[in-house]
């Protein structure tokens, strides 16, 4: 648990540094309005992806092994989409 928490904190700090530096460079280089447009267009997807990866990686084993979770993942796996 402590290792997972430490990994999450380290990953969050690294992501913050990289994202703030890249958005800062875009803000200076392309202008503030462009930065707001890029952030508004990508934030939903990036935050959703981050939450999904975190949930899949840090999901407790007792939930991962439950029959409800198994049925849910089988339902999404067999989706015709």
pLDDT for 33-69, tens place per residue?
877 777 777 877 888 788 777 777 776 666 666 776 6
pLDDT(80) > 60: no
Q: What is the pTM of this model?
A: 0.42
Q: What is the pLDDT of residue 47?
A: 80
Residue ranges covered by each domain of the chain: 2-77
C-alpha to C-alpha distance for 64 and 60, rounded to whole angstroms: 6
């Amino acid at each position: 648990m402590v290792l997972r928490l430490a990994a999450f904190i380290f990953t969050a700090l690294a992501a913050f540094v990289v994202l703030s530096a890249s958005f800062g460079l875009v803000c200076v280089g392309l202008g503030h309005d462009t930065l707001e447009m890029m952030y508004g267009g990508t934030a939903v997807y990036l935050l959703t992806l981050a939450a999904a990866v975190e949930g899949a990686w840090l999901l407790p084993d007792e939930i991962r092994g439950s029959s409800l979770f198994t049925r849910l993942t089988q339902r999404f796996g067999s989706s015709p989409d």
